[in-house]
Amino acid sequence: MKTFFTQPIGNLARQNAITFLVLNLLFVALQLSGTTALDALEDLINFIWGFSLATIVITAYYLAEDHVPDYWRSAHSILATVIIFGTFLEITELEDGFLPMYFFWAFNSLIYSVTLRGNGVFRPIYENMTILGALFLLIGSSATLFFGFEPSDSFQQFGFIGWLVLIIGFSLGNYFAWGDKSITSNEVE
């Protein structure tokens, strides 16, 4: 058990990227099927979702540290804190969805992806998917958050597609980027 918590950062990031992808695909499958089979485990699944996303965000600085300023380390820590805090708000049902968390994540994902675009940290397909998905999430969440606009059902379908694109680009982008980094360096710690 000790080695799980002290494993190299690249392994930790890759495991959490896959966990994040699988949990999101599970959420999508459950929503589309209308089943309530996992309702009893919803809080636990939400916690693991938040923890995996926060871990990816924290490790992302170390993935790109040669391409970004040092203060991005603190920014990633703050974003990870917001994600965990927002996840706990959702679990405790004090909030029905913590929209500012999603806006903040999309905004930072967009800045991160655009800043690193073309630097070779991420494969281009995953860079583009993350940027496109973050734009969709940013537009949808900011319309509601700042203007009180409730998107129509047809726009929400575009938002759903954007969410899927962001999840796939973000999780697989980080997964493969850490794999590429571990191949080019002797050991990713």
- 120 DSSP assignment: S
> Taking 80 as the threshold, does the pLDDT of residue 131 lie above it?
yes
What type of residue is 138?
A: L
pLDDT digits (tens, 9 = 90+) for 18-58: 999 999 998 888 878 777 766 677 888 889 999 999 999 99
pLDDT digits (tens, 9 = 90+) for 69-106: 888 889 889 888 888 888 888 888 765 556 677 777 88
- 41 DSSP assignment: G
Q: Could you tell me the residue ranges of all domains in the chain? A: 2-184
Write down the pTM of the prediction: 0.84
Instruction: Note whether 132 and 169 are within 8 A (CB).
Output: yes
Looking at every residue in the chain, the average pLDDT score rounds to 83
Q: How far apart are CA 63 and CA 44, in angstroms?
A: 28
The pLDDT-based confidence of 189 (bands split at 50, 70, 90) is: very low
Q: What are phi and psi of 70, to 5 degrees?
A: -65, -30
